[in-house]
Structure 1
Amino acid sequence: MESFGLNDSQTNWNGGQRITLNAGDTATCTTLRPGQIYGIFLYNSAGNDNNVDVNVVWSNSKAPVKILVPGTTANAGLASMGFVSGSDTQTISISISSGSGNGQVEAWLGSVSMPINTSGLTNNVLQANGEQYQFNKYSRYFAVPPSKWMNLTIVSKITQFISCQFREANATVFVVNETSNGLLTGQVTSIGPTASEPGAVTIIPTQIQSVSNNLQGDGSQWVWMDADSVQDSSSASISLQSL
């Protein structure tokens, strides 16, 4: 299996790049910006059905936050996501405890500016032409919509397809074809006071095979990232249309 992390147990994560963490490993980012919300994308990549706890340290005065990343035997699970604001901390670190056996996760950071290092991801402009573009697991799309109304549409035939939209201090989690049980407990975790404020992280579910959301550009950047597995993303698409 190809790894995008470092062999050392301490990884410089300032680029927000796609990395692989094993038991005993730690990755640290020290470049979070005030006024911007960041998503920590975590996939269980151990190839077994053992759950993995990822520790997120964001404050010297607060206890680490644990995010559960469910196991999967075919690297087919959904992402677990943690959201943190650069207004609360400039530095975060993620780690897997050394006692986690063969625990392993893939991780990267998402925001309007992250990852700076897009190794292991596809990073493309989302053209506002209404065309449907493939929205696979490792996709990141970005756009700077003009000051007019636009329509975003995400389509998936798979149950519970999940993706995330970033806009400076806000994140929106889209859930297409939501199940009756909704999101799994711990699948979306807000970390720190700013990310926990109402409106900082919004979840928009639909019970149909698409979600449509109108947005109004203002010259700032918007970003969309997949938070689902390879198999669940095989038929997913994203489109942006000028209204």
Structure 2
Amino acid sequence: MANINWNDGRLITLGEGQGATCTVLNKGQLYGLVFYNSAGNDTGADVTIVWGNGNPPETIHVPGTTGNQGLASVFFLNGTDTTTVSATVLPNQPGAQVQTYIASVKMPVNTSGINNISLPADSTPHSFNKFTRYYTVPASHWYNVQINSNINQFISVLFTEQKATVYVVNAAGDISSFITGVGSAKSLSQYSIVTSAYQTISQPIIGNGSQYVFVNADSVQDSQSATIAFTSLSALYAAHDEAEKSA
């Protein structure tokens, strides 16, 4: 069974009987393994995840889709529980194939195949395409993130060092089968899901000088019109106060 060195967390493709192992997870850091079904023939894939020898393996299902258009399945774990994680598409799944990478505030280290972009706090809507990772280091004041999509069930994830928030715009059903976690990521509720029945989610975020990362967890098709805007509320209020003084 082929096994890939995945210590850089890069975007890889796993077929039937292939696996990948990362041995350098950092203590205290939350990670999300992001899986897309890329078989292109509507063949689903069961991926077995081993996260340390003392823990029973987990199996997640990545639903089949045609044209590489499906949602991602996201698996959360914390480096405090294990330094090693492996993902394997087991044999006897003819035609099964997934694309996957490791997301966190630091990963993937190798961003080949990922749109790795700095997110300015300029209030401007920026395209939020598939395989896009926006990063920012907000100062210690309030900001607002706004995610827009006119497609049902558009999904993205915000990562901080030990927390993740899954945003679902135009929520149309239960996504719990796509979003799973183990260990302290689950028991300490280190990931949460925020849904909106409308085309916009707008959420306040407090900065603390550490890195924040937003990743797309949706298909090419569903991401065509998706945007993300990041606003410094402190700068906005300062500009407003200055305008009032000048009036």
Look up the SS of the partner of 1:240 in the other structure: strand
Picking from 235, 238, 241, the partner of 2:225 is: 235
Matches within 5 A, 1:78-227: 78-179=71-172, 181-183=173-175, 185-192=176-183, 194-227=184-217
Q: Distance in 2 between matches of 1:58 and 1:169?
A: 17
Q: How many residues align?
A: 233
- 5+ residue gaps, structure 1: 1-7
Query: Which residue pairs with 1:5 in the alignment?
Result: none
Query: Paired residue for 2:55, among 45, 62, 69?
Result: 62
Name the aligned partner's letter for residue 182 of structure 1: D
How far does residue 198 in structure 1 lie from its aligned partner after superposition? Answer: 4.1
Distance 2:56 2:93 in 1: 19
Maintained 8 Å contact 2:52/2:83:
no
User: Equivalents in 1 of 2:83, 2:62: separation in Å?
Assistant: 24
Q: Distance in 1 between matches of 2:180 and 2:121?
A: 31
Letter of the 1:155 counterpart: N
Cα displacement string for residues 61-112 of structure 1 (whole angstroms, at most 9, x for unaligned residues): 2221001000001110000010000010000000011111110000001000
Structure with the bigger percentage of helix: 2
- What root-mean-square deviation, in Å, do the aligned CA atoms of Structure 1 and Structure 2 show? 1.0
- SS of 1:232's equivalent in the other structure is helix
Gaps of 5+ in 2: 234-247
Runs of 4+ aligned residues of structure 1 deviating over 3 Å after TM superposition are none
Give the TM-score of the pair, scaled to structure 2.
0.92
CA offsets, 1:156-212, max 9 Å, x none?
Answer: 000000000000010100000001x221x52001122x1112430110000000101
Name 1:41's counterpart in structure 2.
34
Which amino acid letter does the alignment assign opposite residue 103 of structure 1?
A: A
**Would you say the 8 A contact 2:158–2:166 is kept in 1?**
yes
Match of 2:15 among 22, 33, 55: 22
Name the amino acid aligned to 2:209.
G
Please, what TM-score do these two structures have when normalized by structure 1? 0.94
